[in-house]
Chains A and B, each alone.
Chain A
Amino acid sequence: MSTTLSASTPTTLTSPRMSAELSLRIYDLMLRARVLEERLISMYKQGEGYFWIGGPGEEAFNVPLGLLADKGQGVDHDYLHLHYRSSGTLLALGADPIDSLRQMRNLATDPYSRGRNFAGHYSVRAWNIVPVSSPIEVQFSMAIGTARAQRKGTGAKGITIVQGGDAGSAEGDFATALVWSSRKGNELPLLMLVTNNRWGISTAYEGQHGYSQIADRGKAFGMPTAVVDGNDPEASYAALHKAIDYVRTEKKPYLLEAMVSRLRGHSSASGANLVKGEVDCMDRYEQTLVARNLMSKAKCDELRAQYTQELLDSSKRIASEPAPEASSIWDHVFADKNLVGGE
């Protein structure tokens, strides 16, 4: 039940796999996500934030994920245990990019962490987006819990989607998710996503993994697996659609690996400069849409300039918003209500 799609695709994608309308929507969201990450990097470099980490190079996979997930609160919607490269998913779900700028500037108005956490560390309970944690892969241990709350027989309509990188799959938490989700008779509706950028900070894939594809590990657990070109938004959309449908229908796990790029390095700690030799999904999809006469190069450039200006304006607008009060460190150490229980 494994499908392998080559990552070494030509510069433009060939036959369209979706409507022009959806293609353009995905392109638009990818562009907004890319421009957001570029804005965040600029803010970091201009001293408006302490640290940057994010997802340039994952947009072609993460945007379709946000479009396909069932957004909402509670077990009848999908739980998303994301990682810190998920801005494309957030924007596709409907997040306002200005909130990412607020988190970058660690403002009191940052809705994701109230100025407490790094850029890209999202949390939206209203959309089942579990707080992103800096330690890699812990989300794979937590995801089995939300998935159990949605298991077969509960009547819950939602599934759980968990995402991490290739390097993080070396952690025991990845094995935890494989073991717990595939127990016979106790299978969990869990979609495991590995975005494989072939790097773990500075260590190359070959230095960490003796196997060729991470998805192959799912085969031993009897679950369907697939590898998709994560730089191809249409292939990604199709692969995610298939995987989500399977998990939602069968209430069983699925492991999908997406081959993506890491265009700006691991984080600002390595400079956040453009890395040469990586496939850029934006360039490729732009050329594809131009070749299909759905976009013109001029229109692409115009949109990019427009979104860039909008975010620049947004970053100026939030400059006057307050930093968190020092005394707020004591807020929310404990909850006084069971919010997740509906209080």
Chain B
Amino acid sequence: MPSMIQAIRMALHVGETRLGVTDIFGEDVGPPLGGVFTGTQGLKTAWNTPLDERGIVGMAIGLALAGQKPIAEIQFCDYAFNTIDLLKVAGNLCWASGGDWNVPMVLMTPVGAGIRGSIYHSHSFDAQATRIPGWKIVMPSTPLDAYGLLLSAIKDPNPVMFLMPKALLRVKSKAGEDIPGAPPDDKVLGQLIDAPLGDRTSWAPQWPPLEDYYVPIGKARVVREGTHVTVLSYGRNVPMALAAADELAADGVDAEVIDLRSLHPYDWDAITTSVTKTHRVLCVNEDTEITNFGEHLIRRICEELFYELYAPPKLLAGAAIPGIGLADHLEMASVPQKDSIKTAIAELAAHEP
């Protein structure tokens, strides 16, 4: 079963061999390292940049304007904050020019907690990202969705931000969620495409015959069907919410878990369908809770689906504190965990109007 980072690497390979990707770049993205999470090993268009995030984003915008197809990486989203006005420019060039120009670029960046990354390797970026109009924002929670969303991002004529949940990058896919064309055995796959430790100068990957697979931007996925509570989540919290829901089934609570996959545009139809069925909503994400994307979803649910609700919608998000502390207890207390999600679902399920 391939991991998410292998799936991302394979999608990038498809991008540069069949979808016109011209440049994959960022800090430590090219040889010899091939990315701090190994996501860009063995790619023919991968190259290393100066340690200059503004330059990385500007380079991507310029390449895109020149008709190329760039994929830029900010090594951790924690280091994207000094690029926000350039992200705004990327998002507004089409609109500001009255449709004269478009900016076909992809920006990848690892987000979130879960690897004990301390204050500057644990940030989330979804609240910031969804505050920058003109961008499409996607975030996978499985290797297959990562593959399919990244291929869709590459094909899109607009700037697309591909948020990589760093705690899930090495998690392997489930049975039945193979990457089309890749060997399902991850040991076999690893021998083909993983760079060896040590000297890599004579190494070259052997790419399997990968097939096209597109996850449309703007379409959510029902991860677990249920009737009592709707859990709206994305990224790292999706498998947590699924585990929480599975455990609650023994107590007679039947939660529906929806992976939004796209934060902008997001799948309002899927949300409406689910909330109309369950009448109870929990939004779960890791970003700080004040001015949180889940707050937007709850606002719209209250405005448009108010009379469907049997309980006040609930947001479970990161604590509104300046950082995520390194020690186990600090990190665990700062962002949602399986048990806190489980408690929130159970409380909502028990709430009667």
The chain A residues found within 8 Å of chain B, CB to CB, are 74-75, 79, 110-114, 116-117, 121, 123-125, 130-131, 133, 135, 138, 140-150, 160, 172-173, 176, 179-180, 183, 331-343
Whole-angstrom distance between the Cβ of B88 and the nearest chain A Cβ? 8
Whole-angstrom distance between the Cβ of B98 and the nearest chain A Cβ? 3
Known: A176-B55, A179-B50, A339-B157. A148 touches B97 (CB 8 A): no
For residue B58, CB closer than 8 A to chain A, the reply is yes
A337 and B102 contact, CB distance less than 8 A? yes
Instruction: Kindly report which residue of chain A lies nearest to residue B72, judged by CB atoms.
Output: A145
Across the interface, which residues of B come within 8 angstroms of A343, CB to CB? Answer: 157
For residue B176, CB closer than 8 A to chain A, the reply is no
Interface residue count on the B side (C-beta < 8 Å): 42
Across the interface, which residues of B come within 8 angstroms of A335, CB to CB? Answer: 94, 99, 102, 157-158
Known: A335-B157, A340-B104. A141 touches B67 (CB 8 A): no
Interface centre among B63, B66, B93, B95 (most CB of A within 10 A): B66
A180 and B50 contact, CB distance less than 8 A? yes
A145 and B67 contact, CB distance less than 8 A? no
Across the interface, which residues of B come within 8 angstroms of A131, CB to CB? Answer: 93, 96-97, 100-101
Of the candidates A113, A180, A341, the one whose C-beta lies within 8 Å of that of B98 is: A113
Whole-angstrom distance between the Cβ of B278 and the nearest chain A Cβ? 31
Across the interface, which residues of A come within 8 angstroms of B63, CB to CB? Answer: 145-146, 148-149
Whole-angstrom distance between the Cβ of A122 and the nearest chain B Cβ? 9
Whole-angstrom distance between the Cβ of B167 and the nearest chain A Cβ? 30
What total of A-B pairs shows CB separation below 8 Å?
Answer: 160
How far apart are the CA atoms of A151 and B315 in the complex, in Å?
50
Residue contacts A-B, CB under 8 angstroms, 29 given: A79-B65, A114-B98, A116-B95, A116-B96, A116-B98, A125-B97, A133-B89, A133-B96, A135-B85, A138-B89, A140-B58, A142-B61, A144-B59, A144-B62, A145-B58, A145-B65, A145-B68, A145-B70, A148-B62, A173-B54, A332-B94, A333-B94, A335-B94, A335-B157, A337-B102, A340-B101, A340-B102, A340-B103, A341-B104
How far apart are the CA atoms of A333 and B60 in the complex, in Å?
19
Across the interface, which residues of B come within 8 angstroms of A142, CB to CB? Answer: 58, 61-62, 65, 86, 89
How far apart are the CA atoms of A173 and B53 in the complex, in Å?
10
Across the interface, which residues of A come within 8 angstroms of B93, CB to CB? Answer: 130-131
Interface centre among B58, B98, B103 (most CB of A within 10 A): B98
Residues B58-114 near A (CB distance < 8 A): 58-70, 85-86, 89, 93-104
Across the interface, which residues of B come within 8 angstroms of A338, CB to CB? Answer: 102, 104, 157
B85 and A146 contact, CB distance less than 8 A? no
Across the interface, which residues of A come within 8 angstroms of B85, CB to CB? Answer: 135, 138
Known: A180-B50, A333-B134. A112 touches B97 (CB 8 A): yes
Across the interface, which residues of B come within 8 angstroms of A145, CB to CB? Answer: 58-66, 68, 70
Whole-angstrom distance between the Cβ of B52 and the nearest chain A Cβ? 6
In the complex, given contacts A79-B65, A144-B59, what are 7 additional A-B residue pairs having Cβ atoms less than 8 angstroms apart? A74-B66, A114-B98, A145-B65, A176-B55, A180-B52, A332-B97, A336-B157
Known: A117-B96, A123-B100, A141-B86. A180 touches B62 (CB 8 A): no
How far apart are the CA atoms of A138 and B95 in the complex, in Å?
17
A333 and B157 contact, CB distance less than 8 A? no
How far apart are the CA atoms of A131 and B97 in the complex, in Å?
6
A144 and B65 contact, CB distance less than 8 A? no
